[in-house]
């Protein structure tokens, strides 16, 4: 019965020629065969494009989409539209998976038929591997269980905890995943995974969590979240508006959670401004001006934290402590 379950694997690709073979080889080596592997080449300028085409010739399960560069969200959206499987999985093109990745998922689906399946993962720099667990107990979660046990920290609770945000190491029923991925605002550049995952969890009828690490996430120090760039001041608003559109924030305390996530994100944006080569006075004036935004002022005013990092962020924003933001930029 389980071999009738079809998985669509969406792999967004942009200039990762050094890692791509390992990713695709891990998918083709699966012990479970009912797959379609959708390689979305997002306008690569290296040999990634030709690598994709070579695999399509070798195996008819491989589908290649070539498109103009539009960013990670647009690549995932193209793949989602093309997907024809019962479930959709996202695998980043510089990561790889265990050979039994989909066989294990198929076993879980055969026994429980959940809307979403999550597993643990290994974080790797390519040589060293560190197991990373999921911050929730293993097992099956009904709709009532999700509301009782996951909703309290779906976005972010008072202690800074939040439900696993990564879109990888998860599979989703296609009818749940497709509308949520298509709805993601392409302007979101920090939190692209969360923008799809959290609304999916909110709308899911059931979830199964496995503690077994089956996904290998390659830690990339050059990624956007690790780069020394200044983030867009509008970023926290884009994702907040998206959550407002895709979830009922009046359920439980989700609106309060949104304010916490906004404060944390806003603090990171403010801190990142010191990556720019501008005079301190110029940056200080700009930061204080952006903190006058009505939505940001509301989030800061209504936000409460019990975590140390949350309290630091809230204090710095509430008191417009630009010097604290600068110091945090140096030590982080």
Q: Which of 185, 203, 221 is the last residue of a domain?
A: 221
Percent of the chain with pLDDT over 90: 89
- Say whether both 172 and 246 belong to one domain: no
Q: Could you tell me if 297 and 279 lie in one domain?
A: yes
The last residue of one of the domains, among 169, 195, 221, is 221
Span 304-318, average pLDDT:
95
Could you report the per-residue pLDDT of 190-236, keeping only the tens digit for each? 899 999 999 999 999 999 999 999 999 987 655 444 456 899 999 99
User: pLDDT value at position 2?
Assistant: 67
pLDDT of residue 225: 42
39 vs 259: CA distance, rounded Å: 36
Number of domains making up the chain = 2
Mean pLDDT of 84-94: 97
Instruction: Please say which residue of 221, 251, 275 terminates a domain.
Output: 221
Residues 250, 326: one domain? Answer: yes
pLDDT above 70 as % of the chain: 96
Reported residue count of the chain is: 332
Are residues 11 and 142 located together in one domain of the fold? yes
Mean pLDDT estimate for the chain: 94
Same-domain status, 14 and 82: yes
CA 303, CA 260: separation in Å to the nearest integer?
A: 6
Q: Are 208 and 245 contained in the same domain? A: no
Element (H, E) at 234: none
pLDDT tens figures, 94-126: 999 999 999 999 999 999 999 999 999 999 776
Q: Do 36 and 166 share a domain, yes or no?
A: yes
Helix axes 294-302 and 235-246, enclosed angle (nearest 10): 70
CA 54 to the chain's CA centroid: 29
User: Residue 180 pLDDT more than 90?
Assistant: yes
Same domain, yes or no, for 174 and 308?
A: no
Spatial separation of the C-alpha atoms in residues 274 and 285, rounded to whole Å: 12
* Model confidence, pTM: 0.93
DSSP 69: -
DSSP conformation letters of 78-108: HHHHH--SSEEEE--TT-EE-TTHHHHHHHH
3-state helix, strand, coil in the chain (%, to 5): 45, 20, 35
Whether residues 216 and 234 share a domain: the answer is no
Are 192 and 294 members of one domain?
no
pLDDT of residue 332: 73
CA distances from 16 to 41, 157, 286 (A): 10, 36, 36
- Domain coverage including residue 161: 2-221
Please check the confidence at residue 83 and state whether its pLDDT lies above 80.
yes
* Co-location of 238 and 318 in the same domain: yes
pLDDT at 70: 94
Same domain, 22 and 160: yes
The pLDDT value recorded for residue 126 is: 67
Q: What is the pLDDT of residue 226?
A: 47
The residues near 130 (Cβ < 8 Å, ≥ 6 apart) are 122, 123, 124
- Please report, for the domain that includes residue 74, its CATH number: 3.90.550.10
């Amino acid at each position: 019965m389980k071999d009738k379950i079809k998985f669509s694997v969406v792999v967004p690709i942009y200039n990762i020629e050094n890692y791509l073979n390992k990713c695709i080889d891990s998918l083709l080596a699966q012990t479970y065969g009912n797959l379609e592997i959708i390689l979305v080449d997002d306008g690569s300028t290296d040999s990634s494009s030709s690598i994709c085409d070579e695999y399509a010739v070798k195996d008819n399960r491989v589908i290649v989409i070539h498109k103009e560069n539009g960013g990670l969200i647009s690549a995932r959206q193209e793949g989602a539209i093309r997907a024809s499987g019962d479930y959709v999985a996202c695998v980043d093109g510089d990561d790889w998976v265990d050979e039994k990745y989909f066989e294990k998922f198929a076993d879980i689906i055969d026994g429980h038929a959940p809307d979403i399946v999550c597993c643990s993962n290994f974080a790797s720099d390519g040589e060293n591997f560190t197991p990373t667990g999921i911050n929730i107990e293993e097992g099956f979660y009904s709709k009532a269980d999700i509301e009782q046990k996951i909703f309290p920290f779906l976005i972010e609770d008072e202690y800074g905890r939040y439900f696993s945000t990564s879109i990888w190491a998860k599979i989703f029923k296609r009818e749940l995943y497709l509308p949520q991925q298509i709805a993601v605002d392409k302007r979101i550049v920090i939190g692209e995974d969360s923008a799809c995952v959290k609304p999916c969890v909110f709308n899911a009828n059931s979830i199964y969590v496995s503690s077994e690490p089956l996904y290998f996430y390659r830690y990339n120090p050059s990624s956007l979240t690790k780069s020394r760039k200044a983030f867009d001041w509008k970023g926290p608003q884009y994702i907040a508006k998206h959550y407002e559109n895709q979830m009922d924030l009046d359920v439980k305390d989700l609106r309060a959670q949104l304010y916490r996530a906004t404060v944390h994100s806003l603090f990171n944006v403010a801190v990142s401004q010191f990556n720019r080569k501008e005079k301190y006075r110029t940056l200080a004036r700009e930061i204080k001006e952006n903190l006058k935004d009505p939505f940001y002022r509301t989030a800061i005013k209504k936000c409460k934290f019990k975590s140390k990092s949350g309290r630091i962020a809230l204090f710095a924003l509430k008191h417009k402590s630009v010097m604290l933001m600068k110091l945090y930029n140096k030590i982080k």
